Amino acid sequence: MKQRRLYLHIGTEKTGTTSIQEMLFLNRARLAEEGYHFIASAGARNNRKLSAYAIREDRADEFLELNGIHTRSDRQRFETTFASDLREEIQALPDHIHTLIASSEHLHSRCLQREEVAKLRALLHPFCDDIRILVYLRPQIEVITSLYSTALKCGESEDLGTFVAQRCLPSNPYFNYRGLLDLWADSFGDAQMMVRLYQRQTLIEGDLLADFASTIGVDRLRPRLQRPAELNRSISAVGQVCFRILNARQATSMDDAGHRHIHERLSQFICDNLAGPGIRPPLELAERIEGDFAESNEDVRARWFPERAQLFDQPTERTDDDGLIDDHYVKLFEEMLTIALQLSERARLTEAMSPESPYPAGPECPDRIGEHLRYQSSR
């Protein structure tokens, strides 16, 4: 089989991976013209099957669970089928394809053991004699702040300070870049590691997609590449507060169909209409987190960025956002949500949510709340 180069993009999470994957997906044909192939059998956009294949048998994985892969025999069938599909895809490629591309941020967050990374290498090595690991690193405090918006969309109701303090720890491999890079370099070698910084000052042209394209060698193709629309927008400070209130209420009424409907509609409204910069951690907490990672980040700098004075550039402005959320918005949303839930209860829950319902708590109720909130937040 023809040997090819593979760029294996492993994230990290919260460094624009969705935009990179969407760009690769949208430009699959253009990339193929230049001899690049974005792997499809592992997932059309996010090559999620790679981490699911590699993860140790005694560890749970939501991808496997969601796809009905529960037992040991289920896993064996999945691994056999995926390995076969990947082999067939690569074997069918025309000779002019010289480079493969794979991308999944879950390789960062799910493959945590040396044997898992080694298993992935064993899967890919027969097709590629030159596997390059491409990874972007972002300041840990920025990662956890971005992760907070995602957690709120998934039902979290903790305040940001608690969320950060309990998770952003050097002992958590998700945030420890020294451990991450050691893990992958041990299997693939230092020379195969392509470590980039996810900061505007260090990205080529200050742009992630331009940086990625240039790094994998398709710089001259960039003018013809279709850029994806903005994806995974963060939730504004007001939106985050609204999500916390909404999620806390939902936690007490998960079995109520009417409440679930209101939760879903208002969640979508917040995502669609209240995007923007979110709450930042208190300055004291941010500085403490940076101090906690100072030693491991310095080791990363010394090994992978010896030309830099420090691993990450300090932000140009450091402020404390405590108190920037007007209590008026909090009380307003709480009152509107209480009214919506009371109306839903009075209208006999599920019946009130049907399109034919004459009750005021019908499908238009969450929209009325959302419109009022949008009006108030723009004043």
Specify whether 59 is located in the same domain as 196. yes
Q: Identify whether 145 is part of a domain.
A: no
d(CA 235, CA 238): 8
Q: What angle do CA 186, 201, 182 make, to 5 degrees?
A: 10
Is 210 in the same domain as 332?
no
Q: Which of 224, 250, 267 is the last residue of a domain?
A: 224
Same domain, 212 and 264: no
pLDDT of residue 362: 45
Q: Given a cut of 60, is residue 351 above it in pLDDT?
A: no
Is 191 in the same domain as 255? Answer: no
In the structure encoding, which two tokens stand for residue 138, read together?
């972002």
Same-domain status, 195 and 267: no
Confidence of residue 230 (pLDDT cuts 50, 70, 90): confident
What's the pLDDT score for residue 359?
A: 40
- Measured distance CA(375)–CA(358) in Å, rounded: 26
Asked if residue 282 is part of any domain, the answer here is no
Is the pLDDT at 79 greater than 80, yes or no?
yes
> Residues 350, 262: contact at Cβ < 8 Å?
no
Domain range holding 77?
4-139+173-224
Q: Tell me whether residue 186 is in a domain.
A: yes
Prediction pTM value: 0.87
Q: Looking at the structure, do residues 100 and 178 belong to the same domain, yes or no?
A: yes
Q: 131 and 247: one domain?
A: no
In the predicted model, what is the mean pLDDT of residues 176-192? 98
Of 224, 259, 294, which one is at a domain's C-terminal end?
224
Q: What's the pLDDT at 319?
A: 52
Among 8-22, 56-70, 204-218, 238-252, the least confident range: 238-252
Looking at every residue in the chain, the average pLDDT score rounds to 87
The pLDDT value recorded for residue 56 is: 96
pLDDT of 358 reads: 43
Say if residue 248's pLDDT is above 80. Answer: yes
Q: Per the domain annotation, does 365 fall within a domain?
A: yes
Verify that 217 and 242 share a domain, yes or no.
no
Measured CA angle at 257 (ends 271, 369), to 5 deg = 40
Please report where in the chains the tokens 């985050």 appear, as a residue: 240
* 18 & 70 share domain: yes
The burial of 270, by beta-carbon neighbours within 10 Å (0-12 exposed, 13-18 middle, 19 or more buried), is given as buried
Residue ranges of alpha helices (H) inside 5-153 are: 17-26, 28-33, 49-54, 62-66, 72-91, 106-110, 114-124, 140-153
Contact 215, 194 (CB under 8 A): yes
59 and 26 part of one domain: yes
CA atoms of 159 and 332, how far apart (whole Å): 18
Q: The CATH number of the domain where 56 resides is what? A: 3.40.50
Within a domain: residue 128? yes
Q: For the residues 237-254, what does the mean pLDDT come to? A: 81
Q: Is the domain of 89 the same as that of 24?
A: yes
Average pLDDT of the residues in 206-233:
91
In tens, the pLDDT along 294-334 reads 999 999 999 999 999 999 997 645 554 544 555 666 677 77
Number of domains in the chain: 2
Q: Report yes or no on 313 lying in a domain.
A: no
Report yes or no: 236 and 333 within 8 Å, Cβ to Cβ.
no
pLDDT at position 356, please? 53
Q: Compare 282 and 109 and report the one with higher pLDDT.
A: 109
Whether 272 maps to a domain, the answer reads yes
Q: Is residue 97 part of a domain?
A: yes
Q: Are residues 82 and 214 in the same domain?
A: yes
